[in-house]
Amino acid sequence: MSETLRNQPTGWMSHCWRQLTGENPFSGDCLPSRVPLFRTGRPTLPFPHLWNYKEPIKIFETFYCDAGTEIGAARHNRYLYIAGLPPVLLSRDPAVIRAVLSATGDKPGQFDRDTAPTAGIARATGVDSLLYANGAIWRRQKRLSAEPFSRANLFQPEKFHGFEQTFRKTVSERLEALRAHQKASGQKTIRIQLEAEIKVVMLEMLVNNFFGGRVAYDELRGRFVPALESLIEHMISDTVAPMSQAFYRLVTGRNAILRRRQADFEALTDIALAGRADGLGLWQQFQSDASNDALRSNIRVFLAGAMEATTSFASWAISHLSHALAIQEQVFDEVKGMTVYDPDNLMSAVTLNRVLEETLRLTPALYFLPRRATVDTWIETTDHRKMYIPEGTQIRLDVWHANRCEEFWGREVTGYPAEAFAPERWEFLARKGITSREMLHFGFGHGPRFCPGRFLGLLEVGLVVGALVKLFKFTAVSERTGAKAGVSTKPADGVLVDMELRA
């Protein structure tokens, strides 16, 4: 770090001074450029407020509006610097995203996960969860959850077989119900929004198969899914505008509804924990003397977060396939003879795996990853560019736009346009000897805070998508499907498709 930077005072006054003089608080050869607070002709303002917080992707888009005139790193790394506050850095540069994620953790000088965009989640689930905590608490929670979620554990043939059987039974029962519904309608095709169906199956697999609970489908659908949905909505508004939302609930009498939803969430958490005493589901693999109370925050995060993330992932995969009928047929050819979804079978379904990889690239469930610089920090990218990030900087790693940027994922690099759904791009990259470990899309994050639920999520989503394709042919109703974004992204039309039973 240069002497000038090191000796500069920090705090409100110095931020104000730099903001007024236009001094760039970052340094190095990978310098971000400043985003003006007000400018006409942009989709919205570059920060969330009451009228735009439901369109976070549009807020990020605003950051890049006039970035085309910038040169090099400044086109993809932008910062907002206002009102005496520390800077907000937004990056769609995959090398910077990778460097920040690798340097996140509990060691001195490493980045924290920024808790500001998840304050509402923490109020609903608890502050000591693996998702929310930083430092020593995060490390302890990570150690606790490592074993039950590990690849070695879940994909170990005997254990895998147990989960696979129960998961498959759950999925087949739901699809059978859909099949019966279609037959009863007497129509060749039915029009349906699949997201609602997927959500219940995902929660059912998690609660009943993974945690060993015994909740009836109707109760999941009628009580617990609506409770989680409305709490997730509440978490978002409670993050962006806690005071005005509290006032709104008070005057509209909605506090009573919120309390009922919270009680339902607690009841579901109790059900998930109840299997621990008898070693049901994942609890067989859980070795710890931590009390049930010490685990509650994590269980709440697993229930709400995993339902949300797996629903997003499966909904997008099915939505993409509903627009790409030739690829849907290729997946059908792979799964039509498959009766057991064991690791070998799943690995051999090459197109299905590419569909899942491409889904996470183009439409990641978690569209941005928040970090915070706890001290003045230098990062270095794998192509040896350096950036100095001042203490207190709020970092938004914009995975959504990084993965759609032609420069990084376009025709020249991957053989296909960045904005297209093209599972074949992974074959193109493989032929060039480039693996998905090198071309990171960050769909499950990267580095120490990588998603612990990756193998479970892949298993569940692979199973749901494979089983659906095996039974039905489905076609998108709209020509193009946009995205809605909250805690995660989802197809804006709720996966509206025309479904037809296969012969």
Residue 67 token pair: 């970035």
Contact map string, positions 174 to 213, toward ligand HEM, x by CB under 6 A:
----------------------------------------
Q: What is the C-alpha R_g of the chain?
A: 23
CB of residue 311 to ligand HEM, shortest distance in Å? 9
Residue 275 interacts with ligand HEM (CB under 6 A): yes or no: no
Query: 194-214 as b/e, with b when 16 or more CB fall inside 10 Å?
Result: bbebbbbbbbbbbbbbbbbbe
Site for ligand HEM in 341-380 (CB under 6 A): 365-366, 369
Q: Which is nearer to ligand HEM, 25 or 364 (CB)?
A: 364
Residue 457 interacts with ligand HEM (CB under 6 A): yes or no: yes
Q: Quote helix, strand, coil % in the chain, to nearest 5.
A: 55, 10, 35
Q: Which is nearer to ligand HEM, 81 or 132 (CB)?
A: 132
Site for ligand HEM in 92-151 (CB under 6 A): 113, 130-131, 142
251 phi and psi, to 5 degrees?
Answer: -75, -20
Q: Which is nearer to ligand HEM, 46 or 281 (CB)?
A: 281
Displacement of CA 469 from its chain's centroid (Å)? 24
DSSP H or E run through 131 = none
Residue 41 token pair: 């002709």
CB of residue 142 to ligand HEM, shortest distance in Å? 5
User: Per-residue DSSP letters for 383-441?
Assistant: TS-EEEE-TT-EEEE-HHHHTT-HHHHSHHHHSS-TTS--TTHHHHHHHTT--TTTS--
CB of residue 498 to ligand HEM, shortest distance in Å? 26
CB of residue 112 to ligand HEM, shortest distance in Å? 10
Binding test (CB under 6 A) with ligand HEM, winner from 57, 225, 301, 324? 301
Binding test (CB under 6 A) with ligand HEM, winner from 224, 302, 332, 408? 302
CB of residue 433 to ligand HEM, shortest distance in Å? 26
Binding test (CB under 6 A) with ligand HEM, winner from 451, 469, 476, 497? 451
Distance CA 306, CA 268 (A): 14
Of 327, 285, 255, 271, nearest in space to 452 by CA: 285
Q: Which stretch binds ligand HEM (CB under 6 A): 15-23, 176-184, 304-312, 470-478?
A: 304-312
Cβ neighbours of residue 252 closer than 8 Å, sequence gap 6 or more: none
Of 434, 432, 414, 433, nearest in space to 424 by CA: 414
Strand 483-485 vs strand 472-476: parallel, antiparallel, or unpaired? Answer: unpaired
Residue 163 interacts with ligand HEM (CB under 6 A): yes or no: no
Binding test (CB under 6 A) with ligand HEM, winner from 87, 94, 445, 491? 445
Structure letter (DSSP) for residue 73: G
CB of residue 399 to ligand HEM, shortest distance in Å? 8
Asked whether the beta carbons of 307 and 200 are under 8 A apart, the reply is no
CB of residue 423 to ligand HEM, shortest distance in Å? 17
Q: Which residues of the shown chain bind ligand HEM in the complex (CB under 6 A)? A: 113, 130-131, 142, 301-302, 305-306, 309-310, 313, 365-366, 369, 443-445, 449, 451-453, 456-457, 461
